[in-house]
Amino acid sequence: MSIWEVFKRLRPFVDPYRSLIIFALLLTLVGALTAQVNPIVLRYTVDTIEKMQLKGWGVSQGASLLALISGILFAKEIINSLIVFGQRFYGEKIRIAISGDLANTAVSRILTYDLGFYSSNLNEKGKLQTRIDRGVEYLTRLVQNFFIDILPLFANSIVALVVMFSANLYVGLVALSILPVYFWVSYKQAGKLSGVRRILKGQREDKSNGMINLIESIQVIKSFVREKYEADKQFNVQRALMDSQLKTRRTNFLFDGIKSFLEQIGVVLIIILTAFLVLDQQMSIGAIMFHILLFNNVSAPIRQLHRIYDEMNDALTYSESFFAVLDAGGAVEKSGNYKPAGIEGDYLLKHVSFTYPNGNKALHDVSMSIRKNQTTALVGLSGAGKSTLINLLTRFYLPDSGMLLLDGKPIVDFDLPYLRENLGMVFQKNHIFKGSIEENIRYGKMDATMEQIQQAARKAYLHDQVMALPLQYRSDAQLLSGGQQQRIAIARLFLKNPPIIFLDEPTASLDAIATEQIKNSLDAIKEGRTVVIISHSLSQIIDSDQIYVMENGRVAEYGTHQSLYELNGVYRRIFEASARSLNLDKMLESLRK
Ligand code: ADP
pLDDT of residue 353: 92
488 in the same domain as 577: yes
Supply the range of the domain harboring residue 526: 347-386+425-592
Give the per-residue SS3 of 298-321.
Answer: HHHHHHCHHHHHHHHHHHHHHHHH
- Residue 565 maps to a domain: yes
For ligand 1, whether the C-beta of 355 sits within 6 Å is no
* Residue in 553, 542, 532 with CA at minimum distance from that of residue 347: 532
Residues of the chain with pLDDT > 90, as a percent, come to 5
CB atoms under 10 Å from CB of 202, counted, come to 13
368 in the same domain as 275: no
Q: For ligand 1, atom 1, which residue shows the shortest CA distance?
A: 383
357 in the same domain as 283: no
For ligand 1, whether the C-beta of 356 sits within 6 Å is yes
- Residue 399 maps to a domain: no
Instruction: Tell me the backbone φ, ψ of residue 354, rounded to 5 degrees.
Output: -150, 140
CATH number at residue 377: 3.40.50.300
**Span from the CA of 387 to the centroid of ligand 1 (angstroms):** 7
- Residue 535 maps to a domain: yes
307 in the same domain as 194: yes
Q: For ligand 1, atom 24, which residue shows the shortest CA distance?
A: 356
367 in the same domain as 273: no
Q: For ligand 1, atom 10, which residue shows the shortest CA distance?
A: 385
104 in the same domain as 245: yes
520 in the same domain as 438: yes
> Does residue 167 contact residue 286 with C-beta atoms inside 8 Å?
no
For ligand 1, whether the C-beta of 384 sits within 6 Å is yes
Amino acid 582 reads: L
**Is the per-residue pLDDT at 558 higher than 70?**
yes
Among 79-93, 183-197, 264-278, 542-556, which is the least confidently predicted range? Answer: 183-197
**Span from the CA of 121 to the centroid of ligand 1 (angstroms):** 14
Overall domain count for the chain: 2
Among 9-23, 214-228, 363-377, 464-478, which is the least confidently predicted range? Answer: 464-478
> Which of 120, 125, 388, 541 has most ligand 1 atoms within 8 Å of CB, for mutation?
388
Question: For residue range 220-274, what is the model confidence (pLDDT) as tens digits?
Answer: 888 888 889 989 988 998 998 899 888 888 888 898 888 888 888 888 988 888 8
**Is the per-residue pLDDT at 125 higher than 70?**
no
**Span from the CA of 384 to the centroid of ligand 1 (angstroms):** 8
365 in the same domain as 264: no
- Residue 402 maps to a domain: no
- Residue 336 maps to a domain: no
Instruction: Tell me the backbone φ, ψ of residue 344, rounded to 5 degrees.
Output: -85, -50
Separation between Cα atoms, residue 112 and residue 109, nearest integer Å: 6
Average pLDDT score over residue span 373-388: 88
Q: For ligand 1, atom 20, which residue shows the shortest CA distance?
A: 388
Bridge partners of residue 378, in order along the sequence:
534, 548
**Is the per-residue pLDDT at 384 higher than 70?**
yes
> pLDDT-derived band of residue 123, with 50, 70 and 90 as boundaries?
low
> pLDDT-derived band of residue 102, with 50, 70 and 90 as boundaries?
very high
Establish how many alpha carbons lie within 13 A of residue 447's alpha carbon, considering only the half-sphere containing its beta carbon: 0
- Residue 420 maps to a domain: no
Q: In what order do the strands lie in the sheet with 530-534?
A: 423-426, 500-504, 530-534, 375-380, 546-551, 554-559
Separation between Cα atoms, residue 34 and residue 93, nearest integer Å: 23
Among 184-188, 407-411, 515-519, 533-537, which is the least confidently predicted range? Answer: 515-519
506 in the same domain as 565: yes
379 in the same domain as 301: no
Plot region of 42 (φ>0 → left; ψ -120 to 50 → alpha; else → beta): alpha
pTM attached to this predicted model: 0.70
**Span from the CA of 353 to the centroid of ligand 1 (angstroms):** 13
Mean pLDDT of the chain: 83
- Residue 417 maps to a domain: no
**Span from the CA of 518 to the centroid of ligand 1 (angstroms):** 26
For ligand 1, whether the C-beta of 116 sits within 6 Å is no
322 in the same domain as 225: yes
- Residue 195 maps to a domain: yes
For ligand 1, whether the C-beta of 358 sits within 6 Å is yes
148 in the same domain as 100: yes
Question: For residue range 310-325, what is the model confidence (pLDDT) as tens digits?
Answer: 777 777 777 887 888 8
